[in-house]
Amino acid sequence: MEEKFARWNTLFLIYLKRDWKKMIVWILGLGLFSSAYVPAFQEISKGKGLMGMYETLQNPAMIAMVGPTPVETAGEYTLGALYSHEMLLFCGLFAMVITVLHVVSHTRKEENLGLTEIVRSFQVGRQANSLATLVEVVFINILLALFISGVMISFEADTITVEGSILFGASIGMAGIIGAGIALVMSQLMPASSGATGAALGIIGLLYIIRAGTDISNVDLSMLNPMGWTYLTYPFTGNNWVPLMITLIFSVIMMAVAFALEGSRDMGAGYLHEREGRERAGKSLLSVQGLFIRLNKGVMISWLIAFIVMGAAYGSIYGDMQTFLESSEIVQQMLTHSGASIEESFTGTIMMVMIGLVSILPIVLVNKLFTEESHSHLNQLYATRVTRSRLYWTSIGLAVSTGLVGILLAAGSLGGTAISAMGDQSMMGMIDFLAAGFNFLPSVLFFTGMAALTLGWAPKWGKVVYIYLAYSFLLNYFGGILDLPEWFAKTAIQSWIPRLPLENFNTLVFVAITVISIALMIIGYLGYQRRDLVEGA
Amino acid sequence: MPEIVNIRGLQKKFGKFQALNDVTFTVNAGEVVGFIGPNGAGKSTTIRILLGIIKRDAGIAEIFGKDVWKESLEIHKRISYVPGDVTLWGSLTGGEIIDLFLKLHGRGNQQKRDYLIKRFELDPKKKAKGYSKGNRQKTGLIAALAADSDLYIFDEPTSGLDPLMESIFQEEVEKLKAAGKSILLSSHILSEVERLADRVAIIRQGEIVESGSLEELRHLTRSNVTLATEGDVAVMAALNGVYDFEQKDNQATFSVDHNQLNVILREASKLGVKKFESVPPTLEDLFMRHYEG
């Protein structure tokens, strides 16, 4: 034992010291996200709200996303039932993902970075680091569970019972612990830390998709799925503690397996070996475009898939639009406009929301050029025929094209699902959805232009563009409720653009914002051409 | 002899910090110039200015007679560069990265690529994230050496390489030199510079404090002499141009100014010379003299 775990407690304390800020953000952030929406849900459930939500969430597409409820009639659907139905699966999923990232970063990643090597040269047990990490994440997830339960109880809301609140918090904490087990096992198997993270997240994604299927076809099968154990506790309705017991046993087994595996592997090596890569570069890599596409491939594909899923999720609501909107006054205020069909006004708002999210990807791609620059990856490229202009415009070009594809996928997937959900009653065709989406193209270009401007003149400020995006997004999202003065609302770029199909297309605005955005890109280029490149600093 | 690299009065400030004060030196065609100086003296800053990565505040910096900032593209067609700390994309293999660099350079030589990969014993199928410091450095070196350029700029190219690989690198540089290429070699490893360089430029706190051929530089300084005599060698200590005199029995070691050599030999012969060894100063001696003084 001593040989294996000596001084794990010292490492544990060091981790607490190293991570306390991260822990606070983690527990407060995820904790409040999981628990603090109780008042908002109280608002939604007023009047016929609960019944409306019950109907909406019975839709198979919604079950696939948020999971099932044990409640069988709309009359028994309480605030507590709604809250755990809508929130628990996602909050558990987040807890799991964050724990996975944390566990891998303290185990395999530290090995890759060479830190473990130094630590092991002291009087520290071979597996002390894994034990310390594990104790730390269990500790964090227990705090998280307690915090969530405490906040929920403090609202003293009707049907948010004490037992239910504790179970709700515990389910999320246990979800995190499942994640720790999966991450630790993958850390032993995979050849490097990035592989371990990828495999663990992949397994979680797979479990999520499998449970979406079994939730719709036969909920009993979801009981075989570790992901199912988190939300099948049914807090506030069934209050079923059994899944948590199963989780506990499962986690102990996973951790035992992980420790056994770790005990007989070499530091820095996994049980699976790194696949051999290509000896020679493929043709598609041999250009600046090829390189940038390759470097951003993962990010681009995952965001584009996210856009499709998002479009499909919102699209599936169109079938029960009426019930959904009647459920709450706030929702009505946010989403409807007088003198138009609900579907049309919903499309106008939801498109603004989706294209706001689509704007993130181009900003990421433009900022990536600076990341590469500051990581010194481009050192040897600068000394070749590749011009700054080539690097810059390739990045911008890639950003703009993914913006276009993003809009196409988001709007197309929204339209496709919406039209099939509405069936014969559909008043809108695919072309209406696409038009509504591409109508927001200038805003995407504008954010790209801002990112380009900072890249050229003040690259360290690249993150500010995200803040402006978040700001204008929130301003538009809540603008309907808050009744803001015109000039204030107009500080968000999207406010200038009319909401299709509700309002008419405005050519002047479309062209003007596009021209301004292109101008920003050109000004950014002038700066990029001129400034000192940061290298390894 | 045409000047390949021409730097005059180069200055660069980072905020308030004067990184380069007055850097002046040249690299002529077919010449290997060693660029030496301690950490933070301004070697890498100078090289980055030459590559057009950062912009100079004042002075002249030209390669092939072209301005390094305004005509960087023309220049870059004919140069190769290896930084001291090669960083690579972890998700690409070494082989892919070399191919990419050669493609972007434009004048890569496939046979030379394969030959160098074998010579440096690099595994090109491995993802770069699994490479050690030495292997990353090899990747950068292979990409630079396999490209056909007129000027090669190496910024501490052998850091992290084992002595065997270091000497392979030196052999490859000698081949380039024999082929009439020009090379700017910034290095800490003075024996490497001594072996390869025709001329050296020593930089200190942003200024070139010495430059010239090793022969010339040596002449400016002292040789180390070991002298054993029949008579009392102690009298030598009093002579002009003798420094650091140390005596053990009737054998002494001291350093001597070259212009005083004749006088010293004459005095020594009066004592009856049993042994006389004179060693020219190593580059290390030169270097230390500049930094200690």
DSSP string for B92-128: SBHHHHHHHHHHHHS-B-HHHHHHHHHHTT--TTSBG
B38, B96: one domain: yes
Output the pLDDT for position A4. Answer: 83
Output the pLDDT for position A324. Answer: 61
Output the pLDDT for position A392. Answer: 96
Interchain pair B104, A377: CB under 8 A: no
Query: b/e map of B109-132 (b: 16 or more CB within 10 Å)?
Result: eeebbbebbebbebbbbbbbbbbe
Interchain pair A294, B92: CB under 8 A: yes
Interchain pair B96, A536: CB under 8 A: no
Is residue A99 pLDDT above 60, yes or no? yes
**Residue A20 covered by a domain:** no
For chain B, the residues whose C-beta falls within 8 A of a C-beta of chain A are: 48, 51-55, 72-73, 76-77, 79-83, 85-93, 95-101, 103-106, 124-127, 129-130, 140, 143-144, 153
A506, A451: one domain: yes
A438, A293: one domain: yes
- The tokens for A113 are 């970075």
| Those residues with Cβ within 8 angstroms of residue A96's Cβ, 6 or more apart along the chain or in another chain | A175, A176, A178, A179, A182, A204, A230
Output the pLDDT for position A53. Answer: 79
Percent of chain A predicted with pLDDT > 70: 94
**Residue A508 covered by a domain:** yes
> What's the pTM value of the predicted model, to 2 decimals?
0.75
Give the end of a domain, one of B188, B217, B246. Answer: B217
Q: Tell me how close the Cα of A420 comes to any Cα of chain B, in angstroms.
A: 41
**Residue A400 covered by a domain:** yes
Secondary structure of residue A114 in the 3-state scheme: coil
A316, A196: one domain: no
Assign residue B18 the CATH number of its domain. Answer: 3.40.50.300
Q: What is the tally of structural domains in chain B?
A: 2
CA closest to B93 among chain A residues: A277
Q: Tell me how close the Cα of B57 comes to any Cα of chain A, in angstroms.
A: 11
Interchain pair B83, A385: CB under 8 A: no
Name the most confidently modeled range: A64-68, A526-530, B288-292: A526-530
- Alpha helices (H) along chain B: 43-50, 72-76, 94-105, 110-119, 133-145, 163-178, 190-196, 214-220, 261-271, 283-292
Q: Tell me how close the Cα of B24 comes to any Cα of chain A, in angstroms.
A: 21
- The tokens for A4 are 């294996």
Assign residue B261 the CATH number of its domain. Answer: 3.30.70.250
CA closest to A285 among chain B residues: B100
B126, B102: one domain: yes
B234, B201: one domain: no
**Residue A279 covered by a domain:** no
Residue pair A196/A187 in contact by the 8 Å Cβ criterion: yes
Is residue A425 pLDDT above 80, yes or no? no
Secondary structure of residue B44 in the 3-state scheme: helix
Contacts of A108 in chain B (CB under 8 A): none
Give the end of a domain, one of A263, A297, A320. Answer: A263
Is residue A136 pLDDT above 90, yes or no? yes
Interchain pair B96, A277: CB under 8 A: yes
Q: Tell me how close the Cα of A246 comes to any Cα of chain B, in angstroms.
A: 38
Q: Are strands B222-229 and B199-204 parallel, antiparallel or unpaired?
A: unpaired
A241, A306: one domain: no
Output the pLDDT for position A333. Answer: 64
Interchain pair A279, B93: CB under 8 A: yes
Q: Tell me how far apart the alpha carbons of residues B141 and B134 are, in angstroms, rounded to a whole number.
A: 10
Interchain pair B129, A383: CB under 8 A: no
Contacts of B92 in chain A (CB under 8 A): 277, 281, 285, 294
The pLDDT-based confidence of A346 (bands split at 50, 70, 90) is confident
Interval A151-187: pLDDT, tens: 999 998 888 999 999 999 999 999 999 999 999 999 9
Is residue A279 pLDDT above 50, yes or no? yes
Is residue A322 pLDDT above 90, yes or no? no
The pLDDT-based confidence of A480 (bands split at 50, 70, 90) is low
* Averaged pLDDT, B75-84: 90
State the helix-helix crossing angle for A162-189 and A8-35, rounded to 10 degrees: 130
Q: Which domain holds residue B136?
A: 3-217
CA distances (Å), origin A456, targets A79, A466, B8: 51, 17, 29
* Averaged pLDDT, A369-386: 88
CA closest to B137 among chain A residues: A380
The pLDDT-based confidence of A449 (bands split at 50, 70, 90) is very high
A251, A296: one domain: no
* Averaged pLDDT, B8-18: 90
Interchain pair B55, A530: CB under 8 A: yes
For chain A, the residues whose C-beta falls within 8 A of a C-beta of chain B are: 112, 192, 194, 274, 276-282, 285-288, 291, 294-295, 375-377, 379-387, 530-533, 535-536
Mean pLDDT score across all residues of chain B? 89
Which residue from A351, A451, A463 is spatially nearest to A398, judged by alpha carbons?
A451
* Averaged pLDDT, A296-323: 83
**Residue A23 covered by a domain:** no
Q: Tell me how close the Cα of A522 comes to any Cα of chain B, in angstroms.
A: 19
Interchain pair B99, A280: CB under 8 A: yes
Interchain pair A279, B95: CB under 8 A: yes
Output the pLDDT for position A330. Answer: 61
Output the pLDDT for position A40. Answer: 83
Interchain pair A384, B53: CB under 8 A: no
Contacts by residues A291-298 (CB-CB < 8 Å, ≥ 24 positions apart) = A291/B100, A292/A368, A292/A394, A292/A395, A292/A398, A293/A398, A294/B91, A294/B92, A295/A368, A295/A372, A295/B89, A295/B91, A296/A365, A296/A368, A296/A398
B183, B107: one domain: yes
Is residue A457 pLDDT above 70, yes or no? yes
**Residue A63 covered by a domain:** no
Interval A194-210: pLDDT, tens: 889 989 999 998 898 88
Interchain pair B81, A278: CB under 8 A: no
Phi and psi torsions of A75, nearest 5°: -65, -30
Percent of chain B predicted with pLDDT > 70: 98
Residue pair A241/A233 in contact by the 8 Å Cβ criterion: yes
The pLDDT-based confidence of B171 (bands split at 50, 70, 90) is very high
* Residue located via tokens 């450095």: B137
Contacts of A392 in chain B (CB under 8 A): none
A242, A314: one domain: no
Contacts of A531 in chain B (CB under 8 A): 55
Interval B14-51: pLDDT, tens: 888 899 999 999 999 999 999 998 888 899 899 989 98
Q: Residue B208: how many CB atoms within 10 A of its CB?
A: 22
Size of interface A-B (CB pairs under 8 A): 111
Give the end of a domain, one of A247, A263, A279. Answer: A263
**Residue A4 covered by a domain:** no
Q: Tell me how far apart the alpha carbons of residues A220 and A209 are, in angstroms, rounded to a whole number.
A: 16
B252, B146: one domain: no
* Residue located via tokens 């071979």: A126
Q: Tell me how far apart the alpha carbons of residues A211 and A207 are, in angstroms, rounded to a whole number.
A: 6
Output the pLDDT for position A481. Answer: 62
**Residue A515 covered by a domain:** yes
* Averaged pLDDT, A448-474: 92
Is residue A292 pLDDT above 70, yes or no? yes
Interchain pair B83, A380: CB under 8 A: yes
Interchain pair A280, B106: CB under 8 A: no
Amino acid at site B59: G
The pLDDT-based confidence of B129 (bands split at 50, 70, 90) is confident
Q: Tell me how close the Cα of A280 comes to any Cα of chain B, in angstroms.
A: 5
State the helix-helix crossing angle for A430-438 and A388-422, rounded to 10 degrees: 150
Q: Tell me how close the Cα of B110 comes to any Cα of chain A, in angstroms.
A: 10
Q: Tell me how close the Cα of B96 comes to any Cα of chain A, in angstroms.
A: 4
Q: DSSP letter at A7? A: T
Mean pLDDT score across all residues of chain A? 88
Give the end of a domain, one of B177, B202, B217. Answer: B217
Interchain pair B104, A288: CB under 8 A: yes
Q: Which domain holds residue A186?
A: 88-263
- Among the partner-chain residues A276, A285, A287, the one whose CB lies closest to the CB of B125 is A276
Output the pLDDT for position B209. Answer: 86
Contacts of B87 in chain A (CB under 8 A): 375-377, 379, 536
Output the pLDDT for position A288. Answer: 92
Contacts of B82 in chain A (CB under 8 A): 380
B207, B229: one domain: no
A180, A303: one domain: no
- The tokens for B44 are 């890498």
Phi-psi region at A18: left, alpha or beta (left = phi > 0; alpha = psi -120 to 50) = alpha
Which residue from A13, A82, A21, A19 is spatially nearest to A46, judged by alpha carbons?
A82
Contacts of A294 in chain B (CB under 8 A): 91-92
Cα Rg of chain A, angstroms:
25
Contacts of A277 in chain B (CB under 8 A): 92-93, 95-96, 125-127
Q: What is the tally of structural domains in chain A?
A: 2
- Say if the ipTM goes beyond 0.90: no
Interchain pair B73, A383: CB under 8 A: no
Output the pLDDT for position A339. Answer: 62
Output the pLDDT for position A537. Answer: 46
Which residue from A253, A95, A120 is spatially nearest to A179, judged by alpha carbons?
A95
Instruction: Indicate the burial class of B266 (C-beta count within 10 angstroms; 0-12, 13-18, 19 or more).
Output: exposed
Q: Tell me how close the Cα of A384 comes to any Cα of chain B, in angstroms.
A: 5
A412, A483: one domain: yes
The pLDDT-based confidence of A490 (bands split at 50, 70, 90) is confident
A293, A412: one domain: yes
pLDDT higher at B283 or B24: B24
B68, B85: one domain: yes
Distance in Å from the first CA to the final CA of chain A: 44
The pLDDT-based confidence of A329 (bands split at 50, 70, 90) is low
B122, B228: one domain: no
B180, B37: one domain: yes
Residue pair B192/B222 in contact by the 8 Å Cβ criterion: no
Least confident residue range of A238-247, A335-344, A435-444, B150-159: A335-344
B148, B267: one domain: no
Instruction: Indicate the burial class of A456 (C-beta count within 10 angstroms; 0-12, 13-18, 19 or more).
Output: buried
Contacts of B106 in chain A (CB under 8 A): 384-385
A251, A297: one domain: no
Q: Distance between alpha carbon A33 and the CA centroid of its chain, in Å?
A: 13
Residue of B44, B47, B73 best to disrupt the A interface, most CBs of A under 10 A:
B73
| Those residues with Cβ within 8 angstroms of residue B217's Cβ, 6 or more apart along the chain or in another chain | B200, B210, B286
B167, B250: one domain: no
* Residue located via tokens 């036969």: A218
Percent of chain A predicted with pLDDT > 90: 50
Length of chain B: 293
A222, A291: one domain: no
Q: Tell me how close the Cα of B214 comes to any Cα of chain A, in angstroms.
A: 29
Interchain pair A383, B153: CB under 8 A: yes
A388, A491: one domain: yes
Residue of B47, B100, B152, B153 best to disrupt the A interface, most CBs of A under 10 A:
B100
Distance in Å from the first CA to the final CA of chain B: 34
B144, B97: one domain: yes
